[in-house]
Structure 1
Amino acid sequence: MSDYCGGCRYDPKQRVGDHACPYTAGYWSFLARNETEFSGNHRMRQPMQGLHRLTDLDALVDQEKARGSIAP
């Protein structure tokens, strides 16, 4: 695999904050918004379990709303 994030100012390991990667935060925010739709899909079981382990999910969703990537 390649490191396409090498020159980016964002940190893909951060979900919340000024240096949080918008792709990482957007992914988790998308899963949170569509949790009910994905709950019956067995292929989404592992990502949804990961979503439930996030301790900063509320802050992440609020951050993405502020960025304007989510409708209020």
Structure 2
Amino acid sequence: MSQLTEIVFLVEDDPDGGYTARALGESIFTEADDLKSLKIMVKDAVNCHFENLENRPKIIRLHIVKDEVFAL
């Protein structure tokens, strides 16, 4: 199996407050109240998902998406 060097998470505001993070291309999802906590949760989720150190990505990239709505 080839080694994954980077994993990308799509980070969005949660309608109920806080943030959600969903990995692109992997079945990993987590959430937290703030971005600092989210980084810890994402790192923990990646470590749990990739138990084998050889297959674990070396870099986690957070792609933070902010929706902004305004009137014309």
TM-score over 0.5 for the alignment? no
Class of the TM-score when normalised by the shorter of the 2 chains: under 0.3
**Structure 1 or 2: larger strand share?**
2
Mark the structure with the bigger radius of gyration: 2
TM-score by length of 1: 0.25
TM-score by length of 2: 0.25
